[in-house]
Amino acid sequence: MNRSKGTFKHYLFGEDVIDIYEDSHGSIWVGTQTGIFQYIRKSDQFVRLDEKNIGFIIPSAWGIIEDKESNLWFGSSIGIVRLNSSREKISIYGKNNGVDGGSLRFNTGFMSAGGYLYFANGNGYYSFRTEQINYNPYPPSIGMNSFSIAGKLINPTASGLLQQSISKTGKINLNYKQNVFSFGLSVIDFSNPEETKIAYRLKNFDRDWITVGADGKASYYAVPPGKYIFEVKAFNSNNGIRTEKAIEVIISPPFWKTWWAYCIYALLFIAAVFGIDRFQRRRLLRVERERTKDRELAQAKEIEKAYEQLKSTQAQLIQSEKMASLGELTAGIAHEIQNPLNFVNNFSEVSNELIDEMKEELAVGNQQLAIEIADDIKQNLEKINHHGKRADAIVKGMLQHSRTSTGQKELTDINKLADEYLRLAYHGMRAKDKSFNADFKTDLDPNLPKINVIPQDIGRVLLNLINNAFYAVDNRAKDLTPLIPPEGGMKNLQNNYKPIVTVTTSNSLSLGEGRGEVKISVKDNGPGIPSSIVDKIFQPFFTTKPTGQGTGLGLSLSYDIVKAHSGEIKVETKEGEGTEFIIQIPTN
């Protein structure tokens, strides 16, 4: 009842309330036919004292009284119950203490001035002083006596399921066929064995605690695969002390339900979808070809023209497919070849002008000056020849890149390959995004030996790692907000961040093996990779790029290519500082 407002609020609907008591801590306690409740002011609700907070269920409560040590006493159908001052342990005084709990039906609990507690029933009353009661300080002992699977006792052996007795075992690993099992349980308590309770549950399987039956076994049937904890607890009702014991039980699933099996299913599904798609494409193409053939036969006068158009279309399709496969390499090569061509054009124009000057000098008889001009023309021709050869090398490189990989290993200069793909990746990024701006540098070991690799495949790995590095530093540069002068000036200050990608090569010997090893490092000073996803970056289809900008296959394919070369690829990263990918390939 709210006295100021004259309103009521109801609690404990359906409960037969017998007694209400406020203790010295200001807590309100209510005894009912179904147990004892405590009022929680913060949540404005009554909470039952049960297994969750005191380890035991009190069936009924009445005659609540508090002693001088702030212990709470009340009558119950199981005897006289004591709840300690911290309200987390109970003690029950029943038949073993001479108390007939079934007769305590009166709402009486009284403490005299002399410190005696009184509890009445229909035949008289019980009276005692709290300091006269002795408490057993020893907890009950839980015994795990045996473990059986499908009724067969499992004995400990050096190579068996149990290496030691079940009482000393902390974890049991079972397979999915061993999902019918049982534990043999017992409890030892010499002070009050009749009132000692023992219960068990399989966490993540059982919803409630289960009391051990007369056979002393905890049995389970058809337990699904998973991780469980078998928990046992014993409660001494005389001193309120609980004993707990637990064993971890892991039931592994069948191989067709493991994560790698699901990965195989997913790959098979993708392969099936891809196969169906290819079949449909081929079928549609076949139908279209048949229609084209019928039209060609019906239009005899235009057959030659249609045939020529078809050949032209095929050539264009093949060229388009080839150019699509070149991708960013083509853009980089185009930028690379432009530089020597500019030099060739410039020196050619200068040479033409020098020839005109030389003719003029010869016409006036100035032979010495004409010879000097001829020397200049010769130097220009040498430079034209140099840059022409440079353009020729780039074209040959482009032709080499456009070839389909034969899968044959060949001796390859890794330094040259790394330098070439670094420049191609940079120019490819510039071709896609004119605002892209980043620096790059190399630290290549001049003593690096040539190694047997598939150059197109290793080039693909390098191109992927370098493109990712340029993408990371470019995103970090775009995310940084320009600084504003504290004086409120109108001009923005540039931040000090300078994006850079570094490619390093080195040669070393593996300790104890005498094997040579080439190490290739691609390092950037981008935002780094969050630690929560580092373990996932080599997984197929995993990507951090926005939708449409990445397939999630680049690093996965790179990982497979390096492994196919008996090498190793790993990543070292720190958030806010950058990322380094390291490739290690044996030289023999």
**CATH number of the domain to which 81 belongs:** 2.130.10.10
CA nearest to 520, candidates 368, 380, 412, 404: 412
Q: Are residues 79 and 202 in the same domain?
A: no
Query: Do 496 and 562 reside in the same domain of the chain?
Result: yes
Query: What residues of the chain score a pLDDT lower than 50?
Result: 314-315, 317-326, 401-402, 404, 483-484, 486, 488-494, 510-513
Quote the pLDDT of residue 80.
85
Residues of 228-245 as b/e, b for ≥16 C-beta within 10 angstroms? bebbbbbbbbbbbbbbeb
Do both 77 and 220 map to the same domain? Answer: no
Contact call for residues 203 and 245 (beta carbons, < 8 A): no
Q: What residues does 310 pair with on adjacent strands?
A: none
Where is the domain boundary, 355, 383, 402? 402
Please tell me whether residues 316 and 179 are part of one structural domain: no
Per-residue confidence (pLDDT) for residue 374, from 0 to 100 = 80
Tell me which DSSP letter residue 47 carries. E
What is the per-residue pLDDT for 550? 61
Domain-embedded: residue 304: yes
Q: 326, 341, 365 — which closes off a domain?
A: 326
Full domain range(s) for residue 316:
259-326
Overall pTM > 0.75 = no
**Do residues 582 and 475 lie in contact, with contact meaning Cβ atoms separated by under 8 Å?**
no
CA dist 560 and 533 (Å) reads 19
Same domain, 452 and 532: yes
- Phi/psi zone of residue 44: left (φ > 0), alpha (ψ -120 to 50 degrees), beta? left
The first and second tokens of residue 370, run together, are 């004409």
CA 460 to chain centre: 27
Query: Which of 173, 29, 144 lies closest to 87 in space, CA to CA?
Result: 29
- Considering the domain architecture, whether residues 428 and 443 belong to the same structural domain is answered as yes
Q: How far apart are CA 329 and CA 255, in angstroms?
A: 43
Per-residue pLDDT at 424: 82
What CATH number does the domain containing 447 carry? 3.30.565.10
Is residue 7 situated within a structural domain?
no
| Predicted pLDDT of residue 549 | 63
Residue 3 belongs to some domain of the structure: no
Are the C-beta atoms of 92 and 237 separated by less than 8 Å? yes
Q: What is the pLDDT of residue 538?
A: 84
Within a domain: 480:
yes
Residues 319 and 343 in one domain: no
Position 8 in a domain: no
Query: Which domain CATH number covers 193?
Result: 2.60.40.10
- Predicted local distance difference test score (pLDDT) of residue 399: 52
| Number of helices followed by number of strands (H, E) in the chain | 7, 27
313 in a domain, yes or no? yes
Pair of tokens at residue 13 = 């609907």
Which tokens in the block code for residue 343?
């030099």
Q: Is residue 1 part of a domain?
A: no
Three-class DSSP labels, 440-475: EEEECCCCCCCEEECHHHHHHHHHHHHHHHHHHHHH
Question: Which one, of 460, 464, 466, 455, lies nearest residue 413 by Cα?
Answer: 455
Cα 68–chain centre separation: 57
Is residue 2 in some structural domain? Answer: no
236 and 370 together in one domain = no
Domain boundary among 132, 160, 186: 132
Residues 99 and 29 in one domain: yes
Per-residue pLDDT, 137: 65
Tell me: do 353 and 321 sit in the same domain: no
Asked if residue 113 and residue 217 are part of one domain, the reply reads no
For residue 52, the model assigns a pLDDT of: 59
The Cα 310–Cα 471 span in angstroms is 41
Residues 33 and 116 in one domain: yes
Q: Decide if 460 contacts 369 (C-beta within 8 A).
A: no
- Helix 414-432 vs helix 328-363: angle between axes, to the nearest 10 degrees? 90
Domain count, the chain: 5
Confidence at residue 288, expressed as pLDDT on a 0 to 100 scale: 87
Task: Measure the CA–CA gap between 526 and 466, rounded to whole angstroms.
Answer: 12
Closest CA to 57 of 194, 213, 209, 204: 209
DSSP class of residue 151?
T
Cβ 576 vs Cβ 472: under 8 Å? no
